[in-house]
Structure 1
């Protein structure tokens, strides 16, 4: 079998490496430059590759094409692959074909990384042999090639789910839905939401689907979609007979026995993190993890970098890095959790954002807006009539300097951009790291 991999990043290298270890003929093609780290790995493992363009004669003679999630589905080469009827898969689909491990897959518009990391922490604390992958760290395919884990906890995006055929997690979680990546889904919210729901399309009645009882779009679509897996809800608002919920100052898990603990003992704060903790605990109960292990894990888990990460308190001003907030809903959670007047750094590549969703919160919580991006006109136009202090910047150094100048003792400076990072930064990690660098550089 000839496998062609499109994209030479972590996901692409992992897929090519796995194909090579399985004795397949493999070729990797990247339309842009391949980072030195991955070029060296490809050469080390004698995997033929090309960069700075796709040679159609080398791509379109494949039996199976594995596409990295960063390649737009509307790309010309993708169209030609589909026209030829060649199987086109994501790396998670490809890797899943070569492991018998139980897969716990997490998707949603927000909270994926935190919940995925929390479930991994929970399983590892209980002594299970588990790998962490998907959009986090080492690619799923690379781990399947090199390790023999019994469980994989995978953060999964809609772009990865667009290109599955047989991918079937033992447990799937859909945390929430909000308008994100609409530019890739014809600006149609339901089309994007249905892409997320593909996480459960191959599940059978011995599998589990955990969903958010409070999420309006999820509930609407569940009425239309036939889910064969056992469905288990979690809720911050409603008591559920079977599932997980918050009531008063405690969380409760009712499945495979009962578990409860006070909210104040959770290591991560905010309503969104209570919801993430409910979903993760429910997955733990399905896997027969002890109540004591769940409790310990929820008390000891350290939040993920770039997600409401407290950087420092300088001259009485708290600085928070929420660079991972690349959509309006994520910024909503961040603003909702603010307890002091906030200088808000926002901006980047707009993905079809509707800022009216956070309008009331901005009026209530934000004392000044610092826009950070190459084109901030949409944000400035929307909030111009509501906030006296709005600043237009095009570098992190300038944005942080202005924020430091505005903030008073007792305030918070919050980087929660609402937007993708690719106008000024390599990725959201680069953006968050630059923020921390300039905050700490007095």
Structure 2
């Protein structure tokens, strides 16, 4: 008898898992409580996969042998509770797909920087002639790539939601870029539950595996003091108080891994900002562990083009620079963005607040921000936090309006920065949609 695989959610990870499940001989059924996008319906129908939308039919879901839950679906929804009550395993796409991979996976998580680090790491390894795919929380689904069987090894960007559904999966190399409060609405507003979710990346690792992490991050340092892990630790630090792993000396990245010393002056990195120095250090550590030549690492770090929607320079109009940082969906990401501003800034902020604490931005806003443009359905928290800090505060309800107001306020030499510090779901489909609308509005000025 075929094992029954039920997939909750008919998006990128759901459809990828359906294709892989069918290929591996499962009886597959996809159930989406919302509506499935036309492009995904076409793939499911074309591959003769059974699916439903707008409901979860209990008789067709609760007879599963195993369930893959898409990362966007909350653990607290009724159907998931019913599955768990019946003892049916509910896992993530990462867990399901990893059992069919023989090669090495590099798993990258963190509250911020994980997308840039994943794409940068993939770039370096690909330049080093590895047959490597990039998946997870970025680009295509991991399961879909495994089904295509094009790649031997994988770089995976892993969100806390994807790690929540991991049972046996272990990356050979794990990276934690940093940890700061995010998605607390999904973790009962308990920071320690979110931290624990991130550290699931190392829970199955052995002494033959590696954990690369930011030694300057207090949350990470404290967790590692209080919890034992088996993986070999490789810290990276800007402060220079570590001489193991990767550190900075005389404005140069110095890395000692596998008895190989690698150095690269910071000013040769293509990405600007302190946070990007850290992202480059993490990518370097992975590349050295994967035995990539030093020259290749150096060239790759100096020619990398950056990530869309992450401090992306859009246009300069009348000597005002417009920057798209739509991917900043929490205050920590926005902290890095504001920290890297060198001119008076008109800041476009707002969206769905995930339990933000704006206090950590106060000093930067005081120093760098001349005006705030709120772009969200409910802006009360932002107004309360910064109303007395900046001279100009404007509420807007569309991206076009926000950009036009910004143009009016900005003077020669200023920067207009979209760095929302919030999720996008009140006015936009997702952060990409928000960033694309920003770029379109700027181009129409």
TM-score w.r.t. length of structure 2 = 0.98
1:148: how far off? 4.2
1:20: how far off? 0.4
Q: Is the 8 A contact 1:168 1:199 kept in 2?
A: yes
The answer to whether the aligner puts 1:362 opposite 2:375 as a matched pair is no
**Which sections of structure 1, spanning at least 5 residues, go unmatched?**
none
The answer to whether the aligner puts 1:274 opposite 2:277 as a matched pair is yes
Look up the SS of the partner of 1:296 in the other structure: helix
Relative to structure 2, which stretch is displaced further, 80-89 or 332-341? Answer: 80-89
1:337 to 336, 340, 343: 340
1:239: how far off? 4.1
Distance 1:400 1:239 in 2: 43
The answer to whether the aligner puts 1:295 opposite 2:302 as a matched pair is no
Matches within 5 A, 1:10-159: 10-159=12-161
Aligned to 1:161: 163
Aligned to 2:425: 422
Matches within 5 A, 1:216-365: 216-256=218-258, 257-365=260-368
**Which sections of structure 2, spanning at least 5 residues, go unmatched?**
none
Distance 2:147 2:399 in 1: 39
1:137-176 alpha-carbon deviations (Å, 9 max, x no partner): 1110011011242210000000000011001101000010
Relative to structure 2, which stretch is displaced further, 185-194 or 32-41? Answer: 185-194
Distance 2:356 2:8 in 1: 29
The answer to whether the aligner puts 1:198 opposite 2:224 as a matched pair is no
1:275-296 alpha-carbon deviations (Å, 9 max, x no partner): 0000110111111111101001
2:390 to 380, 387, 394: 387
Distance 2:243 2:250 in 1: 16
Look up the SS of the partner of 2:264 in the other structure: strand
Q: Is the 8 A contact 1:239 1:247 kept in 2?
A: no
1:135: how far off? 1.0
Distance 2:11 2:141 in 1: 10
* Structure 1 runs of 4+ with >3 Å offset: none
* Number of residue pairs matched by the alignment: 442
1:127: how far off? 0.5
1:302: how far off? 0.8
RMSD in angstroms over aligned alpha carbons? 0.7
Distance 1:239 1:20 in 2: 52
Q: Is the 8 A contact 1:176 1:218 kept in 2?
A: yes
Look up the SS of the partner of 2:226 in the other structure: coil
1:328-354 alpha-carbon deviations (Å, 9 max, x no partner): 000000000000000000000000000
TM-score w.r.t. length of structure 1 = 0.99
Distance 1:6 1:302 in 2: 36
